[in-house]
């Protein structure tokens, strides 16, 4: 086994290659296994991940088990998390730990003290947020000196709890989201200085105007921008199984993240990407994995890719959407599937250092890029996405550029953009654009 990275290691591998891992889905009992954790089963699961040559896992302890009462963070539950991180480190695997879990595979896991008779806002109630801060602090402090600990994630797609279409939403505004995210990330930073502490959202952050979590939150708060890419999204599932447009979807999200960032050197983590049926037909998951990951290589700032997920959900567990049972790289018996074989074959290319763009990229000009009220314009069903896919299918995927960046030659050089093209030009078949510095875009 290789040695685990030191505490506080950067997200990217030394030399600039991609860190490649899996979201750890326990093969026995799914995440319910945290209720009576069997460390021998965890060892076998992590052995199967490490034997593939992966270098990290993302793990998901359940919030109600960690903090069943607002004033009680269970020491035993925290010790279980530490034990899993230590077992991963023994196998050369770095670990990112999510804290407020939260939302997983269509199920919500919330402690009794925030639901039904005790219902209160997850984001703005002071007692609730103070309790969340205590949990984040306790986890980060317990993990701060553990070999291989990368950092905390605040929770999995916590923005889903604020969506108006959630069955029991906690309403949230953008300013309130800023306060909540900053407070909990600061708690993680205090308890585990130097960790790669992050927050995550589903792709509504990029595509839905009403999402309280905005591109500014995604690209400015936390140690990296996290991106979750799923091809069952409207407008992507209709592109055709394993079509070029489908295979480019993760790269499109990564380009949105880079284009919306104020810092052109911002680190980006493709934290979830998977091959769901029926959008990816049975037998094509390996093709989809290889095609998707080959196309994300060279994405600006990309430091890590974490596939969803390590192991299938046992078919005996009820009430999951059918797609959840087949997303694993391995079966629930830990047998490798074609997607695992494809990933193993691709690892050397993914870990090869990628030189920054040498000023030779096209840039697609997108008015309103990153602005909260303009996100629907960049949805997969819109003209921007269609133009981007058309340019990308001819060669190098183009950068997405705001009008502000387009007016700043230094900024364009920092992003490797040589030529600008407008969406209307692509739609009209005139996607040749203007060389930066030669004429106005």
Encode pLDDT of 144-177 as tens digits.
Answer: 999 999 999 999 999 999 999 999 999 999 999 9
Judge if 429 and 331 occupy the same domain.
Answer: no
Judge if 334 and 382 occupy the same domain.
Answer: no
**pLDDT beyond 60 at 136:** yes
Judge if 43 and 65 occupy the same domain.
Answer: yes
Q: What is the pLDDT of residue 129?
A: 98
Strand order in the sheet with 56-59: 149-153, 94-98, 56-59, 19-23, 302-307, 268-273, 225-229
Judge if 274 and 414 occupy the same domain.
Answer: no
**Beta-bridge partners for 304:** 19, 269
Query: Between these two residues, 39 and 352, which has the higher pLDDT value?
Result: 39
Indicate whether 14 belongs to any domain: no
Judge if 314 and 421 occupy the same domain.
Answer: no
Burial 28-41 (b: 16+ CB within 10 A, else e): bbbbebbeebeeee
Q: What is the pLDDT of residue 102?
A: 87
Judge if 368 and 346 occupy the same domain.
Answer: no
Q: What is the pLDDT of residue 438?
A: 38
CB within 8 Å of 152: residues ≥ 6 apart = 96, 97, 98, 99, 136, 139, 140, 143, 188, 192, 195, 197, 198
Q: Concatenated DSSP letters for 360-422?
A: -EEEEE-TTTT-GGGGGGGSTTSHHHHHHHHHHHTSSPPEEE-HHHHT-HHHHHHTTEEEEEE
Indicate whether 264 belongs to any domain: yes
Indicate whether 425 belongs to any domain: yes
Judge if 280 and 402 occupy the same domain.
Answer: no
Indicate whether 11 belongs to any domain: no
Residue with tokens 């695997």: 93
Domain boundary among 292, 320, 350: 350
Indicate whether 225 belongs to any domain: yes
Give the CATH number for residue 227: 3.20.20.80
Domain boundary among 293, 324, 350: 350
Judge if 283 and 368 occupy the same domain.
Answer: no
Contact 412, 360 (CB under 8 A): no
**pLDDT beyond 60 at 328:** yes
**pLDDT beyond 60 at 432:** no
State how far the Cα of 362 lies from the Cα of 391, in Å rounded to an integer.
Answer: 9
Domain boundary among 350, 379, 398: 350
Judge if 380 and 336 occupy the same domain.
Answer: no
Q: What is the pLDDT of residue 57?
A: 98
When divided into structural domains, the chain yields a total of: 2
Indicate whether 5 belongs to any domain: no
Give the domain extent around 160.
Answer: 19-350
Judge if 171 and 218 occupy the same domain.
Answer: yes
Judge if 51 and 167 occupy the same domain.
Answer: yes
CB within 8 Å of 92: residues ≥ 6 apart = 1, 2, 3, 4, 50, 55
Indicate whether 10 belongs to any domain: no
**pLDDT beyond 70 at 356:** no
**pLDDT beyond 70 at 426:** yes
Q: What is the pLDDT of residue 335?
A: 98
Q: What is the pLDDT of residue 437?
A: 43
Judge if 172 and 252 occupy the same domain.
Answer: yes
Residues 294-304, mean pLDDT to the nearest whole number: 95
Q: Tell me the longest C-alpha to C-alpha distance in the chain.
A: 66
Indicate whether 50 belongs to any domain: yes
């Amino acid at each position: 086994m290789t040695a685990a990275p030191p505490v506080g290691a950067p997200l990217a591998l030394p030399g600039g290659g991609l860190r490649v891992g899996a979201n750890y889905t326990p093969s026995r009992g799914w995440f319910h296994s945290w209720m009576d954790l069997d460390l021998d089963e965890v060892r076998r699961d992590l052995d199967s991940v490490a034997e593939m040559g992966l270098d990290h896992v993302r793990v998901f302890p359940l919030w109600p088990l960690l903090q069943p009462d607002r004033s009680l963070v269970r020491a035993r539950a925290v010790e279980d998390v530490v034990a899993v991180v230590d077992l991963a480190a023994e196998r050369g695997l770095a670990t990112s730990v999510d804290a407020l879990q939260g939302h997983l595979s269509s199920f919500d896991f919330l402690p009794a003290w925030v639901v039904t008779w005790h219902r209160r806002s997850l984001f703005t109630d002071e007692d609730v947020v103070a309790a969340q801060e205590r949990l984040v602090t306790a986890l980060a402090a317990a993990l701060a000196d553990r070999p291989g600990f990368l950092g905390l994630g605040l929770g999995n797609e916590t923005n889903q709890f604020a969506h108006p279409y959630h069955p029991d939403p906690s309403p949230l505004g953008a300013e309130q989201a800023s306060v909540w995210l900053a407070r909990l990330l600061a708690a993680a930073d205090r308890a585990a200085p130097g960790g790669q502490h992050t927050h995550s959202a589903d792709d509504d952050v990029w595509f839905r105007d009403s999402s309280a979590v905005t591109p500014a939150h995604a690209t400015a708060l936390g140690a990296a921008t996290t991106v979750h890419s799923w091809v069952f999204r409207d407008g992507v599932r209709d592109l055709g199984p394993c079509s070029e447009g489908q295979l480019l979807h993760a790269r499109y999200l990564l380009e949105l993240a880079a284009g919306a960032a104020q810092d052109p050197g911002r680190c980006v983590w493709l934290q979830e990407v998977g091959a769901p049926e029926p959008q990816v037909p049975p037998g094509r998951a390996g093709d989809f994995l290889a095609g998707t990951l080959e196309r994300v290589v060279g994405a600006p700032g990309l430091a890590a890719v974490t596939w969803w997920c390590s192991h299938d959900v046992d078919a005996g567990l009820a009430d999951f959407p059918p797609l959840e049972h087949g997303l694993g790289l391995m079966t629930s018996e830990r047998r490798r599937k074609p997607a695992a074989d494809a990933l193993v074959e691709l690892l050397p290319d993914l870990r090869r250092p990628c030189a920054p763009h040498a000023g030779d990229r096209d840039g697609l000009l997108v008015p309103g890029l990153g602005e909260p009220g303009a996100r629907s314009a960049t949805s997969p069903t819109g003209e921007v996405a269609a133009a981007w896919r058309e340019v990308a299918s001819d060669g190098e995927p183009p950068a997405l550029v705001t009008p502000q960046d387009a007016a700043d030659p230094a900024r364009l050089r920092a992003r490797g953009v040589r030529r600008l093209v407008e969406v209307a030009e692509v739609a009209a078949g005139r996607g040749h654009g203007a060389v930066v510095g030669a004429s106005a875009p």
